Amino acid sequence: MRHHLLLAASLLLASGPLAAQNPEAVAAAALKAAPVWDGHNDVPEQLRDRRKNVLGDFNFADTSNTADPARDVAAMQTDLKRLRAGKVGAQFWSVYVSANLTDQQAVQATLEQIDVTKRLVARNGTAIQLCETSDCVAKAMKAGKIASLMGMEGGHSIGGSLAVLRQMYELGARYMTLTHFKNTAWADAATDAPAHGGLTDFGRDVVREMQRLGMLVDLSHVSEATMMDTLDTAKAPVIFSHSNALAINSHPRNVPDTVLARLAANGGIVMVNAYPAYVVEATRQWNVTRATEEARLKAVHIGQPKLAAEALAAWVKANPAPIGSVKDVADHLDHIRKIAGAGSVGLGGDFDGIENTVAGMEDVSTYPVLFVELARRGWSQAELEGLASRNMMRVLRAAEAYAAAHRGDAPLENPVSF
């Protein structure tokens, strides 16, 4: 009898509160309650680069067979099958265009990327739904569809025009990254020589007009000075759609603690990505060493670019780059949570915009692995739900509320340039 009582007690414990602390169970419960809302995915860029935006027979249900070894092109990292496996319920698709384009070329190319994104969504309407509001996202998630929003990556996409900015919003763009790798005429990038000391007066007007419209201000890719100027100007929450913590990896693309310390007061969010160069400090250092070796080999083999390239390839083969793992991504999330708070974390994997990933996060299907790792570290289900999508939902609702309160404000104006 005593044996049966002990067995019953152990079964009760196994199915009660202690079982809820199982990391896999905590992660699964969080993702069921709040699917992932990913801040940045570059499928539209892949459609442009691989297919010149001609969808033709493109099958978004499964892109695992899209590798082209002859062109050294890897398979895509995103498709409907893997989005489902990754518990993704909402996605910001990046309508990125090169920062090397002229203003007018960038505007046209951005329009083309908005168009191809809308066509992709329309062709897969049983699984994904175009959304422009937080209410639409909530309804799409409830209906079991993947809510699809669009974000412009780089202020060059508006060609220096607030009128173009307004029209991009009308077409459905719901965030804009203020810069990409290069400065704009009105904002400094993280990876370019400073030209403005942050935002210019026009740059501040861009931020004000974005928030008047309800468009999220994205600070990934911008300099620390631009981050600070934006936080000084912003009246609604900002986002970092795909950035990490500078304290963990010192790449200038990442967010310094000085900014993280201000983020909670703003109500903003840092959406962490899976790119080794931004996640793993050893990878960043390897890239510096590789660049140094490349310069040395070009000097050794001056006038012989083929020999220099062969020598560099041999060096890379003998010195493979470290790529890190899911644990390194979790380290960034732990740090951001510590400095800015659990309400300031999110996910922006940058999938299909990066050539490699940390081990264990090779594509969009792998988010549950990260959630299990965080649950092992003591993240609660509520914190994981915030990370997944509740924090992002709060940010977008706050941006929409600010815009609604300022609907009567006159649009800001700037003179045309030609």
**Are residues 160 and 150 located together in one domain of the fold?**
yes
Known catalytic residue at 242: yes
Given this model, what pLDDT does residue 12 score?
42
Selection from 182, 179, 183, 186 nearest residue 161 by Cα: 186
237: domain range?
Answer: 23-280+326-405
Question: Is 5 among the domain residues?
Answer: no
Selection from 63, 177, 196, 69 nearest residue 120 by Cα: 63
**Are residues 294 and 343 located together in one domain of the fold?**
no
Neighbours of 55 (CB within 10 A): 13
Spot the catalytic one: 79, 132, 153, 209: 153
Question: Is 413 among the domain residues?
Answer: no
Spot the catalytic one: 38, 40, 132, 363: 40
Known catalytic residue at 350: yes
**Are residues 330 and 266 located together in one domain of the fold?**
yes
> Could you give the CA distance from residue 252 to residue 227 in angstroms, rounded to a whole number?
12
Spot the catalytic one: 156, 221, 332, 335: 221
> Could you give the CA distance from residue 377 to residue 21 in angstroms, rounded to a whole number?
11
Given this model, what pLDDT does residue 21 score?
78
Given this model, what pLDDT does residue 196 score?
98
CATH code for the domain of 222: 3.20.20.140
Per the DSSP assignment, residues forming a β-bridge with 128 are: 146
Asked which of 290, 322, 354 is the last residue of a domain, the reply is 322
Q: Which structure tokens are listed for 242?
A: 């795909």
**Are residues 292 and 263 located together in one domain of the fold?**
no
> Could you give the CA distance from residue 372 to residue 327 in angstroms, rounded to a whole number?
10
Given this model, what pLDDT does residue 417 score?
84
**Are residues 178 and 93 located together in one domain of the fold?**
yes
Known catalytic residue at 156: no
> Could you give the CA distance from residue 180 to residue 355 in angstroms, rounded to a whole number?
17
Spot the catalytic one: 38, 42, 132, 328: 42
Spot the catalytic one: 156, 196, 242, 332: 242
Question: Is 2 among the domain residues?
Answer: no
What Rg, from alpha-carbon coordinates, does the chain have? 22
What is the domain count for the chain? 2
> Could you give the CA distance from residue 111 to residue 100 in angstroms, rounded to a whole number?
16
226 neighbors 187 (Cβ within 8 angstroms): yes
Which pTM does this prediction carry?
0.93
Spot the catalytic one: 38, 103, 132, 180: 180
Question: Is 9 among the domain residues?
Answer: no
Known catalytic residue at 335: no
| Ranges of residues in the chain whose predicted pLDDT is under 70 | 1-20
> Could you give the CA distance from residue 323 to residue 271 in angstroms, rounded to a whole number?
20
**Are residues 271 and 309 located together in one domain of the fold?**
no
Known catalytic residue at 332: no
Spot the catalytic one: 132, 350, 352, 373: 350
**Are residues 258 and 314 located together in one domain of the fold?**
no
**Are residues 102 and 157 located together in one domain of the fold?**
yes
Known catalytic residue at 221: yes
**Are residues 226 and 359 located together in one domain of the fold?**
yes
Neighbours of 359 (CB within 10 A): 16
Known catalytic residue at 196: no
**Are residues 173 and 195 located together in one domain of the fold?**
yes
